[in-house]
Amino acid sequence: MFEKVLVANRGEIAVRVMRACEDLGIGTVAVYSDADKHGGHVRYADEAYNVGPARAADSYLDHEAIIDAAKKAGADAIHPGYGFLAENAEFAAKVEATEGVTWVGPSSASMEQLGEKTKARRVMESAGVPIVPGTDPVTEVEEVHEFGEEHGYPIAIKAEGGGGGRGMKVVREPEEAEELLATAKREGEAYFDNDSVYLERYLEQPRHIEVQIVADQHGNVRHLGERDCSLQRRHQKVIEEGPSPALSDELREEIGEAARQGVKASDYVNAGTVEFLVEDGNFYFLEVNTRIQVEHTVTEEITGIDIVKWQLKIAAGEELDFAQEDVEVEGHAMEFRINAENAAKEFAPSQGGELETYDPPGGIGVRMDDALRQGDDLVTDYDSMIAKLVVYGADREECIARSKRALAEYEIEGIVTVIPFHRLMLEDERFVAGTHTTKYLDEELDKARIQEAQEKWGPASSGDGKDDEETVTREFTIEVNGKRFEVDLEEKGMPVQTGSQPKRPSGPRGGSSGGSSGGSSPSVSADGEVIAAEMQGTILSVNVEEGDTVESGDVICVLEAMKMENDVVAEVGGTVTEVAIEEGQSVNQGDPLVVLD
């Protein structure tokens, strides 16, 4: 077994991996960027190394910096966590080629094979796994029309190098095919540096079911049951659960065995997840995730199997010590992603700040995976997810009851989170009935209910900002005849400051003085109302031109950051006098985007 593992990640997943190392008596090495000097994962590790400035490309994504840190620390293994370099075949190959350092994850060859979506489809099809009717890469609109004539519409056009729904286009009639094919290729090139696209018959109302796999270096492959990830918003999972409320035992058995056979056929080793779409009692292979996933915790809670520990043991050459028949799923678990976002404002990322109060829940059936403590200055540059609340119950009903209790206990002050949204879902008829599909949040849930939940359970003034005064709430504890009361007094404060300048201090996350993040820092004339980028990211679309008249709330552009598509809206009306950005451009936090007169 390894002596010392370097975890090439940050936040909750870095601490999660380090906990598995502690359980195995293995030393832990953290890496951190300038922004994470005081991060929870740095506190937790036995030793820590700075790998560069705040910008991920210059730190957590810097292959040589990570490998140099491993050598400096004398680490004999590197665990990538999820995100960052977890599915980067080039980095995995570099670690595989580094003397004395073992890569904890699937081989770079497996990533190459299964990361290319049409290759993965062929491997699964050869193993008898049902796949959605589809094609190999296509280039001409005639191929789309031929596929439509044979399989019908709608048709999904997907990026070969993609995933997570990015770049996916849905063709509903032949006339749309030419433009959507061109757009899909252009976005594939922009997002994944690969303009290859392929076709699939598009399923309108699927559920998103995934099967956890662990496979050792001795040919043993086990599935650990399924997770239902159907509650998603813009392809971002929000609540995951297991087992799925939508599967019969027979279908459950079939999907698990199909995943196992498909992985066996691809000589895959370590932990991985096979994703399926399920509709009308049928299941279809979607893609393979060649990493540990955020929601692995759900499976750990209902099987009692420590997946991360097995990742380390498998990488060290150990054999799985249980048969498929020994894997038993008991009870029900849900994972609630605690994101620093305001659900009432289209899930806009919250501004960072001090965690004035951080008082997580506890008690029976409650697991917290986080890297936080009260007083931390929260870093939200990389990902809006700050913690995971995982709840276990003997059945789904008990799991929901315990989740309500845990979310009501969860006290966070100083940053707006999605906790009110989660509490709403636990009272939502469709979610509680388990009948929601992947479209539910994007197309069906009444947004007004999110607003109500935010006003009911969120911090004051975290609603939709429509009220024109800031409400200050003061809390008092009083005693009347020996009985204790907690009293909140609301006080109407000063009008809320308008204006779109980021309200953050300069520094690692600060304004455009930090130089470019890949694109050129746009420059604009000083006069006029400047709408600036609230975070580092890439411009996905520009929705205005010079001379346009915009109203308050109009979408100026879409900024892709932290794996989310964020609408940048005008907080005041006006005429566009300058547009300082273009599609595909990288921007730094604070960079001017548009100027209104």
Which residues of this protein are in contact with ligand MV4, per CB under 6 A? 132, 156, 164-165, 200-203, 206, 208, 232, 235, 275, 277, 286-287, 438-439
Closest distance of CB 391 from ligand MV4, Å: 23
Among candidate residues 240, 168, 232, the one with its CA nearest the CA of residue 211: 240
Query: Residue 558 pairs with which residues in a beta bridge?
Result: 541, 567
Spatial distance between the Cα atoms of 52 and 29, rounded to a whole number of angstroms:
16
Comparison of 236 and 380: residue with beta carbon closer to ligand MV4 = 236
- Residue among 286 and 386 whose Cβ is closer to ligand MV4: 286
Residues 6+ apart with CB under 8 A from 260: 213, 221, 222, 223, 324
Amino acid at 275: E
CA–CA separation, 18 vs 80, rounded Å?
12
Write the burial class of residue 201 (CB in 10 Å: 0-12 exposed, 13-18 middle, 19+ buried): middle
Residue 286 or 579: which CB sits closer to ligand MV4?
286
- Written in H, E and C, the secondary structure of 550-575 is ECCCCEEEEEEECCEEEEEECCCCEE
CA dihedral 66, 41, 406, 374 (to 10 degrees): -140
Count of positions (residues) in the chain? 597
Amino acid occupying residue 74: G
244 versus 500: smaller Cβ distance to ligand MV4 = 244
Minimum distance between the CB of residue 431 and ligand MV4, rounded to whole angstroms?
15
Nearest approach in angstroms of CB 162 to ligand MV4 is 8
Least distance to ligand MV4, CB of residue 410, Å: 26
Question: What are the two backbone dihedrals, phi and then psi, of residue 421, each rounded to the nearest 5 degrees?
Answer: -65, -45
- Are 23 and 306 contacting, i.e. CB atoms less than 8 angstroms apart? yes
* Least gap, CB of 389 to ligand MV4 (angstroms): 22
Residue 207 or residue 332: which is nearer to ligand MV4 going by CB? 207
What's the closest the beta carbon of residue 207 comes to ligand MV4, in angstroms? 9
Nearest partner of 341 among 395, 412, 268, judged by Cα: 412
Q: Minimum Å distance from CB 568 to ligand MV4?
A: 22
- Rounded to a whole number of angstroms, the minimum distance from the CB of residue 343 to ligand MV4 is 17
Check: CB of residue 508 under 8 Å from CB of residue 589: no
Chain centroid to CA 316: 29
Least separation in angstroms between CB 168 and ligand MV4: 6
Choice between 289 and 350, CB closer to ligand MV4: 289
| Phi/psi of residue 454, nearest 5 degrees | -65, -40
How far apart are alpha carbons 141 and 182 in whole angstroms?
Answer: 9
CA-nearest of 494, 497, 478, 498 to 486 is: 478
CA angle 296, 356, 426 (to 5 degrees): 45
Q: Which is nearer to ligand MV4, 115 or 206 (CB)?
A: 206
Name beta bridge partners: 274.
211, 288
Give the count of beta carbons closer than 10 Å to the beta carbon of residue 565: 17
Choose between 438 and 500: whose C-beta lies nearer to ligand MV4. 438
- Closest CB to ligand MV4 among residues 2, 202: 202
| 343, 420 contact by CB (below 8 A) | yes
Q: At its nearest, how many Å lie between ligand MV4 and the CB of residue 441?
A: 9
C-beta of 156 vs 389, nearer to ligand MV4: 156
Which CB atom, from 15 or from 203, has the smaller least distance to ligand MV4?
Answer: 203
Choose between 165 and 508: whose C-beta lies nearer to ligand MV4.
165
Report how far residue 193's alpha carbon sits from residue 187's, in angstroms, rounded to the nearest whole number. 9
Segment (H or E) for 448: helix 447-457
Q: How far is the CB of 153 from ligand MV4 (least distance, A)?
A: 12
Rounded to a whole number of angstroms, the minimum distance from the CB of residue 280 to ligand MV4 is 13
Q: Which is nearer to ligand MV4, 147 or 268 (CB)?
A: 147
Q: From CA 294, how far away is CA 239, in angstroms rounded?
A: 11
Evaluate whether 67 touches 101 at the Cβ level (below 8 Å): yes
State the CB neighbour count (10 A cutoff) for residue 546: 11
Tokens representing residue 431 in the block = 């979610």
